[in-house]
Amino acid sequence: MEESTVLEAKATLKYARISARKVKIVADLIKGKNVNEALAIVKFTPKAASEIIEKLLKSAIANAENNHNMNSQNLYVADIFANQGPTLKRIRPAAKGSAVRIRKRTSHITIILREKE
């Protein structure tokens, strides 16, 4: 049996200073969409993660065109996911001489683009 390899372009952002939970809200909006439609959705979504995802999506498109000779008109977002990265732990003074731990969460975001047949 012959296996046909599907070309895919990929872009990854590691240690983004935003919670993976916040990124997943925007990521679910563009999963499976055409690249141009996904860019339009991300551009007009009023979330903090949309700016980060827009930049990463443009990078994935550039990777597809330059590294894999794919046509940008036929691309779609095959998969996008945000995994939790390491958490930065900080301490803030609280009442009665106690301290409260602040967790500054990070995430690793990956976009995979494929070409429609």
Domains of the chain: 8-115 (3.90.470.10)
pLDDT value at position 4? Answer: 55
Phi and psi angles of residue 105, each rounded to the nearest 5 degrees, phi first:
-85, 150
Q: Residues 68, 24, 84, 79: is their CA dihedral positive or negative?
A: negative
Cα(98)–Cα(96) distance, integer angstroms: 6
Neighbours of 103 (CB within 10 A): 9
- Name every residue whose Cβ is closer than 8 Å to that of residue 61 and which is 6 or more positions away in sequence: 9, 35, 72, 75, 113
Contact (CB, 8 A) for 52 and 12 = no
pLDDT in tens, the chain (117 residues): 655 567 889 999 999 999 999 999 999 999 999 999 999 999 999 999 999 999 999 999 999 999 989 998 999 999 999 999 999 999 999 999 999 999 999 999 999 999 987
The most distant pair of C-alpha atoms in the chain lies apart, rounded to whole Å, by 71
Q: Hey, what are 58's tokens?
A: 């443009």
Tracing tokens 């895919």 back to the chain, one arrives at 8
Phi and psi angles of residue 63, each rounded to the nearest 5 degrees, phi first:
-60, -40
pLDDT value at position 2? Answer: 55
